[in-house]
């Protein structure tokens, strides 16, 4: 495993809320029951196609509408989703603490038009330079896993072993590791901070395994 030179952050679910979280916020506001989206094959399949640009945002929302039980037109659902997306402020703060020698890349799994609409509102430019954005919707990949790992390391102009992926989906993260790509599963800022620390990105000179003195 080489020295990590670039960290690639998945956009939805790491830098911003995930699509399931956005949809559940919309359902909650409408007083509807929440849905465990990852368990719905119709959703996961549509999300992958949306991520890869195989479905337009309108078509994606058209597929989602019956699953939400809401009576909104796809155009309205699109607008609602865009205005609902919230940043993960503590995560963004943490990303800014990475030393300059480590390149920060954003893996945009939302269409370029959505990214454009969100970038200003969520202040994403403060973390990611415009030349370090990868739009998966423009990748022309036929499938996400495992193709995306190879695609991302090529986009970052690095060997796979020099890139760390930060992915909000555990199954995908474990699959990436099985393909030899250093990967962290994003759960929350506490665990991401620990990951950065353990990998020596931030504030570690030696590993300290001693638990906190509590007695």
Partner 1 sequence: MIVSKQILVQSDGRFNVVVLTDQVADFVRESGIQTGQALVFLQHTTGVVIIEEYDAGVLADLKDMFERLTPSAYPYKHHLRGVDYNGHAHMRLALMQPAVTVPVIKGRLALGTYQDILLIDDQVEQQPRYLILQVTGE
Q: Is residue 211 involved in binding partner 1 (CB under 8 A)?
A: yes
For partner 1, what does the binding mask look like between residues 170 and 189, x meaning CB under 8 A?
Answer: x--xx-xxx----xxx-xx-
Residue among 38, 69, 89, 180 that touches partner 1 (CB under 8 A)? 38
- Locate 201 and state its tokens: 């990105």
Q: Which residues of 83-111 are buried (b: 16+ CB within 10 A; e: fewer)?
A: eebebbeebbebbeeeeeebbbbbbbbbb
- Measured from the Cβ of residue 26, the count of other Cβ atoms closer than 10 Å reads 19
Give min distance, CB of 118 to partner 1, in A: 26
Q: How far is CA 164 from CA 88, 132, 139, 148, in A?
A: 19, 14, 19, 13
Give min distance, CB of 124 to partner 1, in A: 24
- Return d(Cα 174, Cα 169) in angstroms, integer: 9
Q: Is residue 193 involved in binding partner 1 (CB under 8 A)?
A: no
Is residue 87 within 8 A of residue 126, CB to CB? The reply is no
Residue 119 burial (10 A CB sphere; 0-12, 13-18, 19+) = middle
- Torsion of the alpha carbons at 51, 96, 16 and 173, rounded to the nearest 10: 50
Residue among 123, 180, 191, 204 that touches partner 1 (CB under 8 A)? 191
Q: Is residue 215 involved in binding partner 1 (CB under 8 A)?
A: yes
Give min distance, CB of 55 to partner 1, in A: 22
Residue among 71, 120, 131, 212 that touches partner 1 (CB under 8 A)? 212
Please, which residue, 100 or 214, has the CB nearer to partner 1? 214
Say how many residues touch partner 1, by CB under 8 A: 26
Please, which residue, 24 or 122, has the CB nearer to partner 1? 24
Please, which residue, 74 or 182, has the CB nearer to partner 1? 182
List of residues contacting partner 1 (CB under 8 A): 36, 38-39, 170, 173-174, 176-178, 183-185, 187-188, 190-191, 194-195, 198, 208-212, 214-215
């Amino acid at each position: 495993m080489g020295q990590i030179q670039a960290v690639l952050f998945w956009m939805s679910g790491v830098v911003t809320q995930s699509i399931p979280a956005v949809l559940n916020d919309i359902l909650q506001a409408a007083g509807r029951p929440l849905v465990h989206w990852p368990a719905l094959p119709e959703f996961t399949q549509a999300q992958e196609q949306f991520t890869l640009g195989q479905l337009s945002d309108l078509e994606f929302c058209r597929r989602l509408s019956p699953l939400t039980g809401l009576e909104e037109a796809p155009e309205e659902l699109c607008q609602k989703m865009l205005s609902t997306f919230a940043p993960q402020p503590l995560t963004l703060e943490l990303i800014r603490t990475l030393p300059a020698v480590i390149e920060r890349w954003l893996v945009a799994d939302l269409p370029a038009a959505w990214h454009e609409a969100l970038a200003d509102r969520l202040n994403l430019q403060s973390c990611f330079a415009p030349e370090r954005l990868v739009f998966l919707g423009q990748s022309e990949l036929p499938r996400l896993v495992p193709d995306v790992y190879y695609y991302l390391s090529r986009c970052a102009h690095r060997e796979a072993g020099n890139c760390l992926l930060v992915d909000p989906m555990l199954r995908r993260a474990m699959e990436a590791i099985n393909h030899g790509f250093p990967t962290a599963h994003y759960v929350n800022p506490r665990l991401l901070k620990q990951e950065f620390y353990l990998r020596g990105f931030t504030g570690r000179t030696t590993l300290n395994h001693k638990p906190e003195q509590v007695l």
